[in-house]
Amino acid sequence: MTFSASLPDNHALREQLHHEAHARQAIKIKSPAQATHIALIHDGDQKIIELKHLESLCETFNRPRPSSDTLHFSDDFGNFQFQWQHHGEYSTYTFYQHHSEHPPFSQSVLNQIPAEWLKALPGKIMVAIHAAIIKSEAQPDFQDIAEHFSGGALVGAEVASGAALAFTDFKIQADGFSRFVIYDRQLNSRQAGRYLQRLCDIEVFRIMSLQAYPVAQALMPKLTRADQDLLRITTSMHQLDIDDSQLLDELTALAAEIENCFSSTHTRFVKTAAYYQLVEQRINELKEVRIPGVQTINEFLNRRLEPTINTCVVTEKRLTMLSERISKASQLLRTRVDITLERQNQSLLTSMDKRANLQLHLQSTVEGLSVAAISYYTVGLFNYIAKAIKASGIAVNPSLITGISIPIIIFFVYRGVGNIRKMVSKIHE
């Protein structure tokens, strides 16, 4: 089919996003078969190291190398098939061996891999699984199934709407691997690959979701102590003789501690919720049908995993609520401190107003004294002037002149002092 050449150019991410839906397909498996699935935790910056490690495996078996920008790789290495997937905080390595003639778990496909290469896998093992797919049209005997495990209670069900049976005991066996057994009734090769992948995903996501549980356990005593401290602080806020600034300092320190706890654990709790959601999704995809006398995978995980996840959820909610309560208490205490400061400011302003009035009265008194003093000395000068005039031979009465000048001098001195005060007031304004 030919399309018009006048269409706009493709977006730079179109092909990458389009092919992503087909990138992580399950490998086709023909029973009987065995597989080993390993999940290793990494620090998020090991992709280049992992790709170089994969290149060395490809060189050993003379296979094409993975591209430098890929997050998943699979290939047929002759005696086994291999699949690698890089995820956000872990990577998985899965090895498949088809048409295995050996009894289940008697030999491992890992025997086909160089031991030094396996030892040098980047990261730390979080999950290691041996799985076997056995062709079985008849109903297997429970005693035969139990022999594949270490005596723990069997967990399993019919899956794929009865096309297969899946069993495990969710325990790590003596060889360091947990085990899954799939009895293939009518699975095609794609179904076998998908259901094996789902079982491995359930185990990986289950373990990854549990990483928040030790975090929640470590947080519980801190939250209890912080809750008690907050109660003590809020109770003290009702007392009138308490130092609000001290309470505010304590509350600020408590808020900083809780915020640090929230920041350091929030991502882990969010990831736990996401992993648990994936566990539930993968279980639903199994389409389990109960086998009488055997717990289904869904029942087992609901009883064993859900309480742990609920502990994490409750701890996260408790941390969030405590942070909100501290924030509200801080707002109330700051409001109380602000009101106290406003009252102190009002009292200070009232005191300043009284002082200003007192200064005004003192200033008026000083001005009166200044007028009297200046007038006194000025009258004295006029008295001396009058006496000098009389001494020069002019007939004047010094006492009369002095007496007449007194009110005149007082008037002008008073006006002069008043004008000076007004000038000074304007300068300060």
Q: What is the pLDDT of residues 321-370, one digit of tens each?
A: 999 998 888 887 777 777 777 777 787 877 777 776 677 666 666 666 67
The tokens for 220 are 């519980």
Q: Which of 50, 272, 286, 280 is nearest to 164 (CA)?
A: 286
CA distance 136 to 353: 101
- Predicted TM-score (pTM) of the model is 0.76
Neighbours of 211 (CB within 10 A): 17
Q: What is the pLDDT of residue 116?
A: 95
Q: What is the pLDDT of residue 121?
A: 94
CA distance 185 to 134: 9
CA distance 208 to 7: 46
Domains of the chain, each with CATH number or no CATH = 26-204 (no CATH), 212-347 (1.20.58), 363-422 (no CATH)
Q: What is the pLDDT of residue 1?
A: 46
Contacts of residue 202, defined as CB under 8 A and 6 or more positions apart, other chains included, come to 279, 282, 283, 297, 301
The region that residue 418 occupies, defined by phi over 0 for left and psi between -120 and 50 for alpha, beta otherwise, is alpha
pLDDT tens, residue by residue, 371-410: 677 777 777 777 778 777 777 777 777 777 777 777 887 7
Q: What is the pLDDT of residue 157?
A: 94
Residue ranges in the chain whose pLDDT is less than 50: 1
Q: What is the pLDDT of residue 424?
A: 62
Q: What are phi and psi of 93, to 5 degrees?
A: -125, 120
Going from the C-alpha of 187 to that of each of 77, 164, 391, the distances in angstroms are: 24, 7, 148
Q: What is the pLDDT of residue 206?
A: 95
What stretches of 87-162 adopt beta strand conformation (E)? 90-98, 124-135, 155-159
CA distance 116 to 52: 15
Q: Which of 136, 144, 190, 141 is nearest to 162 (CA)?
A: 136
